Amino acid sequence: MTSRSQSPLTRKLLAFVALSEAELGVLERLHQRRRTFAAGRDMVNQGQSDQAAYILSAGWVCSYKLQADGTRQIVDFQVPGDFLGLRSVLLRTSDHSFEPIVTIEAAEVLKADLLAAFEETPRLATAILWAASRDEAMVVEHLVGIGRRDAHARMAHFLLELGSRLALVGIGDKDGYACPLTQYHLADALGLSAIHVNRVLRKSREAGLMSFREGRVSYGDREKLVEIAGFDPAYLDHTGPLLK
Amino acid sequence: MTSRSQSPLTRKLLAFVALSEAELGVLERLHQRRRTFAAGRDMVNQGQSDQAAYILSAGWVCSYKLQADGTRQIVDFQVPGDFLGLRSVLLRTSDHSFEPIVTIEAAEVLKADLLAAFEETPRLATAILWAASRDEAMVVEHLVGIGRRDAHARMAHFLLELGSRLALVGIGDKDGYACPLTQYHLADALGLSAIHVNRVLRKSREAGLMSFREGRVSYGDREKLVEIAGFDPAYLDHTGPLLK
């Protein structure tokens, strides 16, 4: 039930491009097929073909890949304003699975709708390419995190990134944000064991850096946290419209 | 000195979209500003702003992020037909650095050129979004590799991926491909030590799976290699044009 100017995707894209009334109208049309998905049941499965994409308007989703041995690597979490499965539409076969973490609201976008929107307004295509580039930059950060950051820096970087992403679509505040993730989600995303996640979070809390309890991430000393993480939010590209 | 139909990027995009003569013309215009870069000197630096993007037409490049402690995580390698720094153009600040591994030829693409091309032909924007989605799918595979695959599967997956990517632009053959990477490159990409890389390659060679010597990757038993890697090339999306 978001009005045009309040859709999280619109809000996010406006950070990149100043969209005209006509372009906002096309974007609104992409939001028409509203659907609700229950937590815990995959929306898109790895290897499935002919998928739709979704624009997430409320709730959190995790995207992951299962390995043959049953282990799971979480690639990223999607928050309101994010596309789900844009690659599934463009690459024909989905390269990973999506599972809602809570009940979510999302608009289904068929391939034909997306291509028609691009034909009608190339600036929207550029804006969506921007959003896809930003998504890729986040996956790169997760790669660097797993490859090169110790557990504390990795966790701090990850939770700061989530906070910045949510802030862009108007969720959370300077003290923290509501977060439905479990320690198992964090473990599968960060390549740590659940026990290790627990220990890292406890140490952060005891050091007064941040706490993650009862579904909320609260910053204690955000500046210090940024320093530990080496967090430079430039890759999230939030500095106002590039295309006028 | 590639003719229109032979440009590696054109060849790659044609796997996704059947481009018209007019669209091929726009794509050719993007190749106008030809430049040569020497090996070992960064073309784009992490944190730099107002960058151009490049279309690589010959040679190999590595893209990486440096951490504050001086360690390097290689995110990916670029081969002919790949964009370099598409994110640098769209995200204003480059989130990583590019270094040519050998002398390379590349066409410089200014932000304005790219946006003008998108305005003129939205199908080209869609095709480039496809290429960006494919790049992201590769970074996802590298994330899964570092997070979840053992050293042998990781190496096998990585070298099979490179072979498939090169085959799409007409480089290499069914027995293998020329590869200018050193064991240090492989180590920084795969999150292994150079010694570990050396051992993994030796074991693969001794088992008759593949060899990587004197700048060439040669498959011994490609089928077995695919099995060890769990390599499913669907994410590279090479099955012929989706958009007619």
Across A148-174, average pLDDT: 93
Q: How far, rounded to the nearest angstrom, does the alpha carbon of residue A190 sit from its chain's CA centroid?
A: 15
Please check whether residue A193 touches B, CB under 8 A: no
Picking from A97, A131, A165, the residue at the C-terminal end of a domain is A131
Residue B84 sits in a domain of what CATH number?
2.60.120.10
Query: For residues A122 and A125, what is the distance between their CA atoms, to the nearest angstrom?
Result: 5
A243, part of any domain: no
Q: How far, rounded to the nearest angstrom, does the alpha carbon of residue B88 sit from its chain's CA centroid?
A: 16
Q: Are residues A65 and A179 in the same domain?
A: no
Cβ pair B84, B78 in contact under 8 A: yes
Amino acid symbol at A61: V
User: What is the structure's pLDDT at A48?
Assistant: 65
Range of the domain at A179: 138-236
Amino acid symbol at A88: S
**Which residues, other chains included, contact A129 with Cβ-Cβ below 8 Å and sequence gap of 6+?**
B90, B125, B128, B129, B132
Cβ pair A67, B148 in contact under 8 A: yes
| In the predicted structure, residue A39 carries a pLDDT above the cut 70 | yes
Structure tokens at A67: 């390995």
Query: For residues B226 and B209, what is the distance between their CA atoms, to the nearest angstrom?
Result: 10
Q: Are residues B43 and B148 in the same domain?
A: no
User: What is the structure's pLDDT at A19?
Assistant: 87
Query: For residues B29 and B20, what is the distance between their CA atoms, to the nearest angstrom?
Result: 14
Half-sphere exposure of B230 (CA within 13 A, CB side): 16
Helical (H) or strand (E) element with B13:
helix B8-13
3-state DSSP percent of chain A in helix, strand and coil, to 5? 45, 20, 35
To 5 degrees, how large is the angle CA B174–CA B176–CA B179? 145
Q: Is the CB of A93 less than 8 angstroms away from the CB of B237? A: yes
Q: Are residues A96 and A161 in the same domain?
A: no
Cβ pair B216, B177 in contact under 8 A: yes
| In the predicted structure, residue A2 carries a pLDDT above the cut 70 | no
Residue B62, CA distances (Å) to A176, A232, B72, B89, B152 in order: 37, 22, 11, 18, 22
B242, part of any domain: no
Question: What are the tens digits of pLDDT across the range A112-160?
Answer: 888 888 888 878 888 888 888 888 889 889 999 998 899 999 999 999 9
**Which residues, other chains included, contact A126 with Cβ-Cβ below 8 Å and sequence gap of 6+?**
A17, A243, B90, B115, B118, B125
pLDDT < 50 positions in chain B: 1-4, 244
Q: Are residues B72 and B158 in the same domain?
A: no
Structure tokens at A214: 């009862």
Please check whether residue B221 touches A, CB under 8 A: no
Query: For residues A9 and A56, what is the distance between their CA atoms, to the nearest angstrom?
Result: 8
Q: Residue A215 — very low, low, confident or very high, per pLDDT cuts 50/70/90?
A: very high
Q: Are residues A110 and A26 in the same domain?
A: yes
Give residue for tokens 């504390």.
A152
Please check whether residue B195 touches A, CB under 8 A: no
User: What is the structure's pLDDT at B216?
Assistant: 97
Q: Are residues A212 and A167 in the same domain?
A: yes
Query: For residues A7 and A15, what is the distance between their CA atoms, to the nearest angstrom?
Result: 13
Residue B189 sits in a domain of what CATH number?
1.10.10.10
B28, part of any domain: yes
Q: Are residues A167 and A124 in the same domain?
A: no
A244, part of any domain: no
Question: What are the tens digits of pLDDT across the range A75-111?
Answer: 999 999 999 888 767 766 667 788 999 999 999 998 8
Please check whether residue B126 touches A, CB under 8 A: yes
Q: Are residues B50 and B102 in the same domain?
A: yes
Cβ pair B242, B16 in contact under 8 A: yes
The total number of structural domains in chain A stands at 2
Burial pattern A114-145, b for ≥16 Cβ within 10 A else e, equals bbebbeebbbbbbbbbbbbbbbbbbbbbbbbb
Query: For residues A140 and A159, what is the distance between their CA atoms, to the nearest angstrom?
Result: 16
Residue A47 CB neighbour total at 10 angstroms: 13
Q: Which of B73, B129, B239 sits opposite A144 (nearest CB)?
A: B73
Q: Which of B65, B92, B234 sits opposite A93 (nearest CB)?
A: B234
Phi, psi of B69 (to 5 degrees): -85, 5
Q: Which of B67, B115, B139 sits opposite A148 (nearest CB)?
A: B67
B241, part of any domain: no
Q: Are residues B57 and B142 in the same domain?
A: no
A57, part of any domain: yes
A100, part of any domain: yes
A242, part of any domain: no
| In the predicted structure, residue A23 carries a pLDDT above the cut 50 | yes
User: What is the structure's pLDDT at B190?
Assistant: 94
Q: Are residues B103 and B142 in the same domain?
A: no
Query: For residues B231 and B136, what is the distance between their CA atoms, to the nearest angstrom?
Result: 17
Helical (H) or strand (E) element with B202:
helix B194-206
Identify the sign of the CA torsion A68, A73, A78, A79: positive
Picking from B113, B134, B155, the residue at the C-terminal end of a domain is B134
Q: Report chain A's mean pLDDT, rounded to a whole number.
A: 87
Per DSSP (E only), the strands in chain A are 33-37, 53-58, 61-66, 72-78, 83-84, 97-100, 104-109, 176-178, 210-213, 216-219
Picking from A87, A106, A131, the residue at the C-terminal end of a domain is A131
**Bigger pLDDT: A5 vs A215:** A215
User: What is the structure's pLDDT at A1?
Assistant: 38
Cβ pair A97, A65 in contact under 8 A: yes
Which residues pair with residue B108 across a beta bridge? Answer: B54
Q: Are residues A17 and A115 in the same domain?
A: yes
Query: For residues B193 and A157, what is the distance between their CA atoms, to the nearest angstrom?
Result: 24
Q: Is the CB of A243 less than 8 angstroms away from the CB of B115? A: yes
Q: Which of chain A's residues have a Cβ under 8 Å away from the Cβ of B242?
A: 90, 92
List the single best residue of A63, A73, A164, A231 to mutate versus B (max B Cβ within 10 A): A73
Please check whether residue B194 touches A, CB under 8 A: no
Question: What are the tens digits of pLDDT across the range B131-187?
Answer: 888 888 898 899 999 988 999 999 999 999 999 999 989 999 989 999 999 999 999
Q: Is the interface score ipTM higher than 0.85?
A: no
Q: Are residues A192 and A120 in the same domain?
A: no
User: What is the structure's pLDDT at B4?
Assistant: 46
Q: Report chain B's mean pLDDT, rounded to a whole number.
A: 87
Q: Is the CB of B95 less than 8 angstroms away from the CB of A235? A: yes
User: What is the structure's pLDDT at B88?
Assistant: 67
Q: Residue A47 — very low, low, confident or very high, per pLDDT cuts 50/70/90?
A: low
Q: Which of residues 19-78 of A touch B (CB under 8 A)?
A: 47, 65, 67-68, 71, 73, 75
Residue B159 CB neighbour total at 10 angstroms: 25
